Structure formats: structure tokens, C-alpha cells
Amino acid sequence: MIDSSLVVFNSLSGKKETFTPLVDGHVGMYVCGPTVYNNIHLGNCRTFISFDLIYRYLKHLGYKVRYVRNITDAGHLENDEDVGEDRISKKARLEKIEPMEVVQLYTLDFHRILEKFNNLPPGIEPTATGHMIEQIELVKDILNQGYAYEVNGSVYFDVLKFNESNSYGILSGRKIEDLIHNTRTLDGQSDKKNPQDFALWKKAEPQHIMRWPSPWSDGFPGWHLECTAMSTKYLGDSFDIHGGGMDLKFPHHECEIAQAEAINKKSPVKYWLHANMLTLNGKKMAKSTGNNILPMDMFTGKNEMFKKPYSPEVFRFFMLQAHYTSILDISEDAFKCFRKRLLSFDGGRK
């Protein structure tokens, strides 16, 4: 038995808890990876650097760790209301290339950037398109359990039905009554019974490029489905750690819990860990406002935010100053300070 006093902040309980794995000496960890339709940004990098540190430390303690981190290469629509265009298909249409060319381009970029930050690769890196059979079988199981319904070739998870015997909102602290009150009324064009319901399978419109055959229609899986399918395939019905960015807590991770509990009748994850956001010069990082910077722009100095280039080592060292659950602000002054500290440690690296 590994003697460890490791304590983690569990988002599920909202408390610090002593880490005790389900199987002595072994840890199963699943982390939500990127949707590969654009270059990875620094906010994403913080999440993956944080879980790289957790992965390394668990191995250092002597645990045998199975680390799974997915690649979303289909099914992620433009918003969380199951409407709009697939992000990868949209990028392919705008660039006049194939969707899988988009996937390949930005998957390589993702790996290249994390290598520069000296991240270890996960043990398994499954893709949504590589697990279509598992996702279709999962939809069948949820339908058979009575927690989903099919309308016009699409299948939706019935949140209100699930909440009759379970607790939808247990991770984020949201109550179903509040969700109902704060949700817009359906406009009559949606197939959903209730606005809170989410897609398990979407029938593809004629213009939708990425589609697969299923018992319900030629279509594609809902975004939340892939992580349930892949985490249970490689880590089992219950596993130790599920990680991701704080922005995924609701609705993505909440929906994952609902899907898994609908089938297996038990909580899928013991410890939920969420990395918080980065801010830039005291403001939220957002492409829409221009308050945003890509890693390569920071490394080369070709940006309007910083006067000098800063290396991946400086950024990674800077990440380590704060707990991963706290908001961290990046600025020129902060990078200058940590660059000097790093120089004092290793005698000249920049």
C-alpha cells in the first residue's frame, strides 16, 4: 500500500479530501481534451499543464496511472443548446478543406505546443470518431433504461425523467427548479420535450458533412456522449479522477454524470478536479475582445501584449505559483519576475 497524505479538492463535494484510489496502487484518470478546430490557447494550456503535474506526482508517489485524455473531432456544436453548426465542419467549410484535414492540422498543433511545455503524453488518447460504435451502443442503453427519447431521427436525454430518481446538478450545485425557471421556452422548432434536455444523437441536416449511420438516422453523437463512452471503456464504470477546465463543469460534466448514472446506477467518478481560468492583464481572455494570445506568439514575441518573448519554461514555471483551482493572471510584470527566478535556478535558461 502506498503511504500518501495526498489531499485533493473534490468539486463534487466542494471539500478537500484525502486521496484514496478505488484500487490500491492504481489510479484511473480521465481528462477532457480539446476540440481540434483551432489553435490551442493559453487558457487550455493551463488545464493540461495542471493535469500533467498531477499525473507526474501520482507516478512519483508510486501509483500505476492509466491516464486517458480524449480528442474531440466530431459532434461539438457551436453552443450548448444543441443547435448550430459543428465547429470542425464550419472550419472546414470556411477554409475549403476536408474536416479531417482540420482535425489533423490542429491535433498536430495541440501536441506540438504541449511538447514545448514538456508535458508527458497520456497513456491513451482516444478520438470521438474512433469510438462511434461505443457511442451508439451507449445511446441504445440509455433509451432502454427509459431516460431518453427519439424524435425525427434525433435522440435526447430526458433530464426531468432522470431527476425523478437522481440528482441532475449534483456537480455544479444547480437545482433543476432553477434551471427550468432560467431557461428560455422552446420556440416550437425544437424536437426537445424540455429545454434542459440534451442531445445524445443528432440527425444530420443535408449540408452536414460529418455523419454516421445509426438505428435512428444518419447523424452524429452529442458532444457529452463521447467522454462517457471512452472513459468507461478504458477506465471502467467507476474510476478515480475526472479532470478538465472549470468551464466544463456545467453542462458537460454534469451531463456525463447523468449519462453514466442512467446506465450503471452509480456515480462514475470518485474525485472531480477542475482547473480554473487564466486572465490576461486582469481581464478575461477572449478572442472576441482581442484580449488573447496564442502560445507561439508568446514564445516568438510576435504579439501586442508583451514587449519580449517568453519561453515555455517561464510559462510553465509561472503556472506552478498558484493552485490550479484559483484564477491566475498573466502579465508582462509577472513574466519578468518569474523569468528572473528561473534564471537563478538553472543558471541561464530563458
pLDDT digits 0-9 by tens, 237-261: 999 999 999 999 999 999 999 999 9
Predicted local confidence at residue 79, as pLDDT: 66
Residues 143-174 as b/e (b if ≥16 CB within 10 A, e otherwise) read: beeebbbbeebbbbbbbebbbeebebbebbeb
Mean pLDDT of 299-315: 94
- Verify that 302 and 262 share a domain, yes or no: no
Is the pLDDT reported for residue 283 higher than 70?
A: yes
Full DSSP string of 32-71: ---BSSS---HHHHHHHHHHHHHHHHHHHHT-EEEEEE-B
Is the pLDDT reported for residue 99 higher than 60?
A: yes
238 neighbors 269 (Cβ within 8 angstroms): yes
Predicted local confidence at residue 188, as pLDDT: 47
Q: What percent of the chain shows pLDDT beyond 90? A: 79
Predicted local confidence at residue 1, as pLDDT: 74
Cell readout for 209 is 458533412
- Verify that 76 and 134 share a domain, yes or no: yes
Predicted local confidence at residue 184, as pLDDT: 52
Cell readout for 106 is 490542429
179 Cβ partners below 8 Å, 6+ apart?
169, 196
**5, part of any domain:** no
Mean pLDDT of 299-320: 94
**Position 182 confidence tier, pLDDT thresholds 50, 70, 90:** low
276 neighbors 325 (Cβ within 8 angstroms): yes
Average the pLDDT over each of 86-90, 154-158, 331-335 and give the range with the smallest value. 86-90
Is the pLDDT reported for residue 287 higher than 90?
A: no
**8, part of any domain:** no
Q: What CA–CA distance (Å, rounded) separates 280 from 285?
A: 6
Number of compact structural domains in the chain: 2
Is the pLDDT reported for residue 189 higher than 60?
A: no
Mean per-residue pLDDT of the chain = 92
- Verify that 337 and 255 share a domain, yes or no: no
**10, part of any domain:** no
Is the pLDDT reported for residue 113 higher than 60?
A: yes
pLDDT in tens, 200-229: 999 999 888 899 999 999 999 999 999 999
Is the pLDDT reported for residue 155 higher than 50?
A: yes
Decide which of 217, 249, 275 is a domain's last residue: 275
Structural domain span for residue 306: 279-346
- Verify that 183 and 84 share a domain, yes or no: yes
**1, part of any domain:** no
**Position 83 confidence tier, pLDDT thresholds 50, 70, 90:** confident
Cell readout for 260 is 453514466
- Verify that 249 and 288 share a domain, yes or no: no
Cell readout for 179 is 434551471
pLDDT in tens, 159-170: 999 999 999 999
Domain of 219, CATH number, reads 3.40.50.620
- Verify that 199 and 114 share a domain, yes or no: yes
Bridge partners of 26, per DSSP, are 23, 64
**7, part of any domain:** no
Decide which of 243, 275, 307 is a domain's last residue: 275
Q: What CA–CA distance (Å, rounded) separates 118 from 137?
A: 37
Mean pLDDT of 259-280: 96
Predicted local confidence at residue 76, as pLDDT: 80
Predicted local confidence at residue 234, as pLDDT: 98
Closest by CA to 73, choosing from 112, 105, 116, is 105
**304, part of any domain:** yes
Predicted local confidence at residue 24, as pLDDT: 95
Mean pLDDT of 119-143: 98
pTM: 0.94
